[in-house]
Amino acid sequence: MNYHNPREWKPSGDIILEENALISVKSNKNLLVIAGPGAGKTELLAQKASYLLETNTCQNPKKILAISFKRDAAENLAERVEKRCGTELSKRFVSKTYDSFAKNLLDNFIHGLPEEYKPMAHYMIAIQNRKQNDIRKAFDVAGALPISGLSNRDYNDLLNNRLIEQRLPIEKENQNGKIVKKAWDILLKGEVNELPPTLSFQMISRLAEYLLRLNPLIKMALGQTYSHVFLDEFQDTTDIQYDLLKGCFYKSSSTITAVGDNKQRIMLWARAKKDVFEAFKKDFSAGEQRLLMNHRSAPRLVEIQKLVYGYLNDIKQDVKTSEKWSETDGISEIWTFNNAKREAEVVAENIKEFIRDEKINPRDVCILVKQLPDIYGEMIISSLKEYEIIARNEVVYQDFLKEDIVKILLNALISALEKEDTESWISVLSFSKLIRGFDSNTDFEKLNSLIREIKDFLNKIDNQLKGLKSEKDLEQVIWGIINYYDINSIKGLYPKYKQGTFLDELIIDLIGFLWREYVLTNDWLTSIENVRGANSIPIMTIHKSKGLEYDTVIFIGLEDSAFWNYLKQKEEDTCAFFVALSRAKRRIIFTFSSDREVTSPYYTRQKRDKIKPFYEILKKSQVVEEINY
């Protein structure tokens, strides 16, 4: 392998990095990179990975470990690195989520735990929702904590908190401690007729951290394996995750690069550690860099974004916009209505015109809400239908489409229908090889016969699809594919499908979605595209939209009741407003309806007194036009 000289290294893929980004890429110290919306966080990390691998600064055979929160973020980053520095070098780039990282540590080194804290090897993942709460169950069996005056939900939250608030081992000096320890025992080992061994991801992280503390050799091995560590969306790190990070890399030889944005901190209510930036700088003696470019938003929209900094007591800084924009680019409007029906009509009509006159794709428009996308979006969905435009609540599909089994089945279907589609063919082939245990050493003859076999099978599927009469027939085809791969082999590759009815539910959903589309379109490829959402406008919450970008964003309901908790969490809600604002590349529209006559258990009369600062920001920018309908 020919490595580049660090001095001569240049960013790959025709990318020009701003000065601070280039400094961050070449820095060999622990570093906190504060990067606002559109600064190119993923690109920065991908370029840094390229630099480290191409110059052999990350010395072969050492690796880079990247930790993200969400699976798609981890996958996107891995893909970008492969694109930037090639398949060979990117083999030493390991991209994981926090939870899979922690679970791997626990599962691989489970014997490093003392018997007392060693979970049964076949433990389940805890379910915690309204119907089923395994943690609560464990406490009920252990003898619930003697605390009264709390609602059921608050009490469940408190129990969970008690379980994971501290590092292990549990201090069992007092009565409460004894009950918490008993709950741990039940969850780790299971209780006959009550609960199988069950762990939450928070517990898994605690166990992984304890494991490392007890076994310095494992910690050393981590440092030996990973010379560099990347941490994405660092502002969302919870206290538990931070403890684990410290357990892994405190005073280790690994160099850490954390990337985040304090202005997009909207997960505090979900345990994000508020002082994580300061803690990281102190504990890891980390330096700080700020990126000043916004490659995403048009100049007028960036002007509004900059005004939010003041409200968040953040350093005022001269954010630069991309040269592709001219100074007057960027549209921002507030649309006010007397009722939600009129709002839906006007929004739908305008979207129709955007698509028709500006030739933008439905996927370039996003309808954002603070909460309850089904309720806030209902009327807009039906108004858009009149123009034959589909809008849908993306929450329902986002997670579903990410599932491996869904990807596997859709790829098989596409490959059967469209023999020339290379992307789906490659995934069908590589999945088949994986299932059969083939690798690069498998001889050519065997591989060829596998390819012939798959092609025969895909032809069979194609023919079956042609003669399909009912949803039952489709069910048969889908199960045919699953049985061809072998359901037990699939479960072996993806252990998460072993638990409960998760796999069956996904398959039922897929059949339902596909059939519904097929009835409408009478074409399988279009049906698959529609299930994937290629032609529909996404409706989602601000939280779901984090990390995404759209040409046009329409925020529905800039109203007090949508921000019902504003007075209690001003900063976090202002961040949410900032995230919404900064999703837009060229145009952002906020709507207000003084009467929201939705068939919901919630509000009708709407005000905007409490969230006045949001309107002040928009007014102050002098680029926002308010239109009364």
Q: Between residues 71 and 433, which has the closer beta carbon with respect to DNA?
A: 71
Tell me if 69 contacts DNA by CB under 7 A. yes
Q: Using alpha carbons, select from 559, 508, 31 the residue that is nearest to residue 254.
A: 31
Residue number, 71 or 83, with CB nearest to DNA: 71
Decide whether 189 or 610 has the Cβ nearer to DNA: 610
How many other CB atoms sit within 10 Å of the CB of residue 143? 12
Instruction: Answer yes or no: are the C-beta atoms of 232 and 257 closer than 8 Å.
Output: no
List 588's β-bridge partners, or say none: 332, 553
189 touching DNA, by CB under 7 A: no
> Which x/- pattern, by CB under 7 A, does the window 523-542 give for DNA?
------------------x-
Query: Rounded to an integer, what distance in angstroms lies between the CA atom of residue 288 and that of residue 341?
Result: 49
Question: Judged by CB under 7 A, which stretch of 210-218, 353-361, 495-503, 522-530 contacts DNA?
Answer: 495-503
Which span (113-121, 418-426, 496-504, 616-624) binds DNA, by CB under 7 A? 496-504
Residue 544 has a CB neighbour count (10 Å cut-off) of 19
Q: At a CB cut-off of 8 Å and minimum separation 6, what does 50 contact? A: 11, 12, 81, 84, 85, 89
The nearest distance, CB 243 to DNA, in angstroms, is 15
Residues 6+ away with beta carbon under 8 Å from 93: 49, 53, 63, 64, 66, 78, 81, 82
Nearer to DNA, 554 or 576 (CB): 576
The answer to whether 182 contacts DNA (rule: CB under 7 A) is no
Nearer to DNA, 68 or 252 (CB): 68
Cite the DSSP H helix spans in 324-443. 340-357, 373-385, 394-402, 404-417, 422-436
125 binds DNA (CB under 7 A): yes
Query: Crossing angle for the helix pair 502-521 and 404-417, nearest 10 degrees?
Result: 40
Amino acid at 520: L
Minimum Å gap between C-beta 472 and DNA is 29
CA–CA gap between residue 88 and residue 99 (Å, rounded): 26
In this complex, which beta carbon is closest to DNA, that of residue 468 or of residue 493?
Answer: 493
Binding test (CB under 7 A) with DNA, winner from 118, 181, 290, 543: 543
Size of residue set near DNA by CB under 7 A: 44
CA distance 506 to 502: 6
The yes or no reply on residue 72 touching DNA (CB under 7 A) is yes
Work out which of 427, 561, 582, 593 binds DNA, going by CB under 7 A: 561
Q: Are 30 and 22 in contact (CB under 8 A)?
A: no
Query: 31: which residues sit within 8 A by CB, 6+ positions away?
Result: 24, 256, 257, 258, 286, 287, 288, 289
Question: What is the closest distance, in whole angstroms, from the C-beta atom of residue 201 to DNA in the complex?
Answer: 3
3-class secondary structure, 593: strand
Under rule CB under 7 A, residue 338 binds DNA: no
Q: Which residues of 102-129 are buried (b: 16+ CB within 10 A; e: fewer)?
A: bbebbeebbebbeeebbbeeebbbbeee
Check residue 544 for interaction with DNA (CB under 7 A): yes
Task: Tell me the three state secondary structure of residue 586.
Answer: strand
In the numeric block, the tokens 């679970």 are attached to 103
Among 387, 479, 602, 629, binds DNA (CB under 7 A): 602
Identity of the residue, 567 or 627, whose beta carbon is nearer to DNA in the bound complex: 567
Piece of the chain touching DNA by CB under 7 A; list 86-94, 273-281, 366-374, 484-492: 366-374
Among residues 43, 54, 82, 99, which is the contact residue for DNA, using CB under 7 A? 99
CA distance 611 to 590: 13
Which one of the spans 46-54, 210-218, 342-350, 398-406 is the region binding DNA (CB under 7 A)? Answer: 398-406
Residue 604 φ/ψ, nearest 5 degrees: -120, -60
The single residue among 4, 26, 71, 608 that binds DNA, judged by CB under 7 A, is 71
Least gap, CB of 195 to DNA (angstroms): 16
Nearer to DNA, 402 or 619 (CB): 402
Indicate whether 508 belongs to the interface with DNA (CB under 7 A).
no
Site string for DNA, 132-171 (x = CB under 7 A): -------------------xxxx-----------------
Near DNA by CB under 7 A, which window of 313-321, 334-342, 391-399, 547-555? 391-399
Q: Which residues of 300-323 are buried (b: 16+ CB within 10 A; e: fewer)?
A: bbbbbbbbbbebeebeeeebebbe
Give the residue, chosen from 110, 564, 571, 613, that forms a contact with DNA under the rule CB under 7 A: 564
Q: Which is nearer to DNA, 53 or 272 (CB)?
A: 272
| Single-letter code of the amino acid located at 236 | D
Choose between 479 and 602: whose C-beta lies nearer to DNA: 602
Helices (H), 215-286: 216-225, 239-249, 276-283
**Residues near DNA (CB under 7 A):** 69-72, 97, 99-100, 103, 125, 130, 151-154, 201, 266-267, 269-270, 369-372, 395, 398-399, 402, 495-496, 499, 502, 541, 543-544, 561, 564-565, 567, 576, 601-605
